[in-house]
Amino acid sequence: MSRPAGSAAPARVPKLRRGRDAQTNGVHYPRWYWQSFAAPAIAWLLVFFLLPLYTVLSIAFGTVDPILRTPVPVWQPWWWTTAHVAEGLDKTFGLFQTVYLRTFGYVLVASAICLVLGYAVAYYVARYAGRRKTLLLVLLISPLWISYLMRMLAWINLLQPDGYVNRVLTFLQIVPEPVGWLEGRGITVILGLVYGYIPYMILPVYAFLDRIDVNLLESGRDLGANPLSTFLRVTLPLSRPAILAGLVIVSLPMFGDYFTNTLLSGSPSTTMIGNLIDDSIYTAGQQPEAAVLILILMLLLLIPIGYYLRSTARTAAAR
């Protein structure tokens, strides 16, 4: 890493270091040179994360225009008011409790389905796809080229009373008459979430499984394990970090998702937290509450992120 590509240093100098060595050899890297490589990332974080986050804070602790009922962000923390925060917390532990539980339930089930299906697919591609590996990977990634919204709209067509899903089900006589998938059912929302996010599960798991040393599996066999116990005692424990990464990647956006529910259900009986936030944003005078709900959701999501970071740090330390 320390050797810059294409450096003009003479070949007899084995290593280039900052400071005097470099200076005497005619190549000078100022102190800020390598640090400056982080500048785009820092600028990105500042502009697209910290600034928006501070705006959300300023709205959550801010006021509302008395005439237009639009949010007035308060930038100076010493003028912040906690009224909206109190109300948001009050609702979180009261009125909205069911919605939080429902959201957690949906995300849990949807992530689990993503994991089971995604793992199986990734396992197959990594171990058994052979020459078709690249083709399969392209096919698996291709849904990501289409916008999430378009994919959900496609599902509306597929799930309609006379859509293909119902046609196949009735043709195979699995159901006697078309199922009203779009009539406000939790199962439809869960399946929509699974469909929308499963590629994000397959890719990290595949990347990891693909790198598992085949010798490890073979030695497992040599030591008398059958295929199942090789999988359970070698492959599965080894892929734990990938499973965690996949779960984090799919479940975090699911928690904030709102238009899967809006498009595929629309029934209040399947409302998720994201829908409550979306509703508040577009209600006069309610935007500070929306900001509070966003902050509460962020705090809740820090728990799984923290667990993931700790667990990966441990795995790294164990090596």
Q: Which residues bind other proteins (CB under 8 A)?
A: 62-70, 72, 74-76, 79, 91, 95-96, 98-99, 102, 160-161, 180, 182-184, 265-271, 275-276, 279, 281-286
Q: Per the structure block, which two tokens stand in for 190?
A: 């869960």
Q: What is the closest distance, in whole angstroms, from the C-beta atom of residue 110 to other proteins in the complex?
A: 18
Q: What is the closest distance, in whole angstroms, from the C-beta atom of residue 167 to other proteins in the complex?
A: 15
Angle (CA) 71-76-77 rounded to 5° is 95
CB 129 within 8 A of CB 209: no
CB 255 within 8 A of CB 103: yes
CB 249 within 8 A of CB 110: no
Assign residue 17 a region (left: φ > 0; alpha: ψ between -120 and 50; beta: otherwise).
beta
Three-state SS for 70?
A: coil
Give 163 or 304: the residue with its C-beta nearer to other proteins.
Answer: 163
Give 59 or 125: the residue with its C-beta nearer to other proteins.
Answer: 59
Give 55 or 312: the residue with its C-beta nearer to other proteins.
Answer: 55
Query: Residue type at 211?
Result: R
Q: What is the closest distance, in whole angstroms, from the C-beta atom of residue 117 to other proteins in the complex?
A: 28
Q: What is the closest distance, in whole angstroms, from the C-beta atom of residue 258 to other proteins in the complex?
A: 12
- Sign of the Cα pseudo-torsion (298, 303, 304, 310, in order): positive
Give 96 or 200: the residue with its C-beta nearer to other proteins.
Answer: 96
State how far the Cα of 312 lies from the Cα of 244, in Å rounded to an integer: 9
Give 250 or 294: the residue with its C-beta nearer to other proteins.
Answer: 294
Give 115 or 264: the residue with its C-beta nearer to other proteins.
Answer: 264
Assign residue 184 a region (left: φ > 0; alpha: ψ between -120 and 50; beta: otherwise).
left
Chain centroid to CA 5: how far? 35
State how far the Cα of 144 lies from the Cα of 261, in Å rounded to an integer: 20
Give 158 or 238: the residue with its C-beta nearer to other proteins.
Answer: 158
Closest CA to 217 of 292, 209, 251: 209
Any residues with CB less than 8 A from the CB of 8 and at least 6 apart, and which?
26, 27
Q: What is the closest distance, in whole angstroms, from the C-beta atom of residue 156 to other proteins in the complex?
A: 9
Q: Which residue's structure tokens are 């640090």?
A: 35
Give 119 or 155: the residue with its C-beta nearer to other proteins.
Answer: 155
Q: What is the closest distance, in whole angstroms, from the C-beta atom of residue 108 to other proteins in the complex?
A: 18
Query: 97-100: long-range contacts at Cβ-Cβ below 8 A with a sequence spacing of 24 or more?
Result: 99/271, 99/272, 99/273, 99/276, 100/273
Q: What is the closest distance, in whole angstroms, from the C-beta atom of residue 159 to other proteins in the complex?
A: 11
Q: What is the closest distance, in whole angstroms, from the C-beta atom of residue 229 to other proteins in the complex?
A: 46
